[in-house]
Structure 1
Amino acid sequence: MQQLEPSSVVVEAAESQSGRVVVRPVTNRRELGVFIDVPWHVYADDPLWVPPLRLERRLHFSKFNPFFEHGEWQAWVAYRDNRPVGRISAQIDQLHRGRYGSDTGHFGLLEAIEDAEVFKWLVNAAEKWLVARHARQISGPFNLSINQECGILVEGFDTPPVVMMPHSRSWYGRMLEEQGFRPQKDLLAYWVDADFEAPRLMSALAERFSRQIRLRALNRGKFSEEIEVLRDIFNDAWSGNWGFVPFTKAEFAELGNSLRLLVPDEAIAIAEVDGIPAAFMVGLPNLNEIFSELDGKLFPFGWARLIKHLRSRKVHTARIPLMGVRRQFQNTPLGAALAFMAIDALRKTGRDWGIRAVELSWILEDNKPMRRMLDSIGCREYKRYRIYGKTL
């Protein structure tokens, strides 16, 4: 499907106390550049915000993003007195509709100054576009799907975001609720020191199942096959979770290509039970430590700085962005052993890199077994993200 299309929502406008607010659809490359740059205006006075790479954002919104094989979107920018002050997108995901009903739709990529009129007209534009496509249930934010960045930060504004996690201004949740949205699901991020001490129970479980479980690193010589193994485990492991939409082969292959460039083989732990892959976990250096110095620019020297930092291991934090344990082992002692042994393997690898602390994200608030395990190894909940929903 085409990634950008002319919107039936051409212009929405209102007079606010601070000046005229106009919302315009994004229909060409120049306007997309304005859309991408909105966060630089919104976070100008927030030292914790980490600018994304503009080139990566261009690619994300291009025809090369495999999301557009099953989804369509429209973007808008809000202007006050001809200055960009906010943005929003609306999406229809056919994979989501296939699982949850033909009346679902999403919004995302929401960024805006603290102005109720700006939020009102942005939300109004997204809702009209979705209603025209038969949506009656709207939820978000998803950037662009649940398998990418999602949620609004509602707790944990005192620390910067890690790689591939969103940041928000403190007023976003309040402004959405003023437009009739209600909390739908909370997603949690946990923080743990890399030198945590394994609890006795987990060590005992690992020893108990040590003959059944074999841990290994990803085999780069069979990269495509290995990525398919990870996708199969992930889609099985997460299939019963709230909001789940399966990764397509193309989407996971794109993700795999990024991991191939940025992650050494030993940072991807695969756990086998009796020789069959049953769980996996991926560790990713927190590239936001580097991106914070680049101001969104890879050229002319950003690539060199990125490679230099990675090779010299000057990144001291990391994130666990992907993990999964096959459903047949979930909520069992063997499943707990699989998860813990994968975490412990990456902990040892991280310490060798000089990693001092790790974020594990995101975890559904109602995923009690995983939260109990994270609590047991000394992880602490330090950020909370929220998905909002509304009936149109």
Structure 2
Amino acid sequence: MSDALTTGDEIRIEPVSDKRGRAAFVDCGRAFSDRLPNFVPQIRSEQIELVDPAKNPFFGHARVQLFIARRAGQPAGRISAHIDELALAMPADQGFGPGTGFFGYFDAEDEDVARALLATAEAWLVAQGMRRAVGPISLSIWEEPGLLVSGQCHPPMIMMGHHPAHYAGWIEAAGYTRAKTLYTYDLDITHTFNPLIQRIIKSGQRNERINLRRVDKGRWDDEVAIILAILNDAWSDNWGFVPFSPAEVAYAGKKLRPIIHEELNMIAEVDGRPVAFMLTFPDVNDALAKIRGKLFPFGWITMLRWLRHPRGAGMRVPLMGVLKELHNSRMASQLAFMMIEEIRLQATGKFQSTRGELGWVLEDNQGMVAIADTIASKVNREYAIYQRTLG
């Protein structure tokens, strides 16, 4: 690391430029996370991989600079500044677009460090020609978007961030305003749904045009391509949407395969054509909490057993989608309820699960909010994405 920037009498901001620096960046974040009640340690090597340009295909369409703050030589915080070329190409009215850069991986010892880190990230973005900063998003919108502002009282589920509540005040004090709120919804899956939903489901089951099928891991690459094609269409008008690149599709498929159980992941077909999907992941944080995020020397045994049969695990639905041509139609909600019910039965039956989590869901995604409300789920976490004009 070189070209350190000194801000104030004690705080020194160092840009990360090599393998050793990336490891230090990850370790800094892990040290902050270890202080938080209910945090679940993640696997260090996987965290390092996410910030490695040689391994994470996000870097194939992004410029990224990582920074570590030090005080008296000791790590005092960290931040990323990054520009996603695919996000720059999106329409401005969808949240990103030309001139929009990002910050992420935000941790700080106190407000002075927070302000110095944000100012450093902003200066880097301005030097790159950006006029607006949005964050925290670490690194992709599809990875860990938003700052946890409500819901610290329970552990996060798989692929969701966990942050202390006071970070929000520091970011807002630096001139940021909330651009969007994301929700996750908690659901007791041991109860059947209300009679109206049951009638909608049964009506769909009688419809010969509709076929619900499990994802087939025997032809996993083909299934991933189907799911991502539906996702890129279904979400294309959503705030913050950025399409997956082909390299990211392949990468996501490889990373997700070990936690995929066919019974928990569905593709819906109408007249033989895939039109909707729902992915459900057993909450690997259940196992990671037991091994404290360490595979060695013996944690891998616990992890392997859990992956084979995650008995009693919480279930998270991170992604679902219906082709745009069916949006706002009765069939769209019918397909959603049918998939939710089938997965609920499998989760409670085969895996003895008792709770599920939907999300994240955009605050103004009326269709998904309505579905979440109809099945009697409750908001259990709130994430904020902030923005600030630069210059």
TM-score (norm 1): 0.94
The answer (yes or no) to whether the contact 1:196–1:378 under 8 Å persists in 2 is no
4+ long deviations beyond 6 Å: none
Per-residue deviation, 1:32: 1.4
Q: How does 1:92-107 map to 2 (within 5 A)?
A: 92-100=83-91, 101-107=97-103
Q: After superposition, what is the alpha-carbon deviation per residue over 1:136-185, rounded to whole angstroms, capped at 9, x for unaligned? A: 01101111111111100111111110110000011111000111110000
The number of residue pairs the alignment matches comes to 381
Matched with 1:209 is 204
Alpha-carbon distance in 1 for matches of 2:89, 2:309? 46
1:268–1:369: structure 2 CA closer, same or farther, 3 Å change rule?
same
Alpha-carbon distance in 1 for matches of 2:221, 2:147? 34
Matched with 1:382 is 380
The answer (yes or no) to whether the contact 1:191–1:358 under 8 Å persists in 2 is yes
The answer (yes or no) to whether the contact 1:189–1:359 under 8 Å persists in 2 is yes
Residue 23 of structure 1: SS of its match in structure 2?
strand
- Corresponding letter in the other structure for 2:240: G
Matched with 1:292 is 289
Matched with 1:353 is 351
The answer (yes or no) to whether the contact 1:141–1:152 under 8 Å persists in 2 is yes
Moved more, 303-312 or 368-377: 303-312
- Corresponding letter in the other structure for 1:38: C
Per-residue deviation, 1:43: 3.4
Given the alignment, which residue of 169, 173, 177 partners 2:168? 173
Alpha-carbon distance in 2 for matches of 1:168, 1:273? 42
The answer (yes or no) to whether the contact 1:289–1:315 under 8 Å persists in 2 is no
Matched with 1:371 is 369
The answer (yes or no) to whether the contact 2:107–2:114 under 8 Å persists in 1 is no
- Corresponding letter in the other structure for 1:112: A
The answer (yes or no) to whether the contact 1:41–1:84 under 8 Å persists in 2 is no
The answer (yes or no) to whether the contact 1:285–1:315 under 8 Å persists in 2 is no
Q: After superposition, what is the alpha-carbon deviation per residue over 1:210-232, rounded to whole angstroms, capped at 9, x for unaligned? A: 31211001122322111110001
Residue 388 of structure 2: SS of its match in structure 1?
strand
Residue 293 of structure 1: SS of its match in structure 2?
helix
Matched with 1:3 is none
Given the alignment, which residue of 43, 50, 57 partners 1:60? 50
Matched with 1:159 is 154
Q: How does 1:24-103 map to 2 (within 5 A)?
A: 24-62=14-52, 63-100=54-91, 101-103=97-99
Given the alignment, which residue of 140, 143, 147 partners 2:142? 147
Alpha-carbon distance in 2 for matches of 1:314, 1:77? 40
- Corresponding letter in the other structure for 2:165: S
Residue 39 of structure 2: SS of its match in structure 1?
coil
Percent identity of equivalent pairs: 37
Any gaps of 5 or more consecutive residues in structure 2? 92-96
RMSD over aligned Cα atoms: 1.5
Per-residue deviation, 1:201: 2.2
- Corresponding letter in the other structure for 1:30: R
Residue 310 of structure 1: SS of its match in structure 2?
helix
The answer (yes or no) to whether the contact 2:188–2:355 under 8 Å persists in 1 is yes
Given the alignment, which residue of 3, 10, 26 partners 2:4? 10
- Corresponding letter in the other structure for 1:108: G
Matched with 1:273 is 270
Matched with 1:311 is 308
Alpha-carbon distance in 1 for matches of 2:126, 2:319? 34
Residue 292 of structure 1: SS of its match in structure 2?
helix
- Corresponding letter in the other structure for 2:112: E
TM-score (norm 2): 0.94
Per-residue deviation, 1:204: 2.0
Residue 271 of structure 1: SS of its match in structure 2?
strand
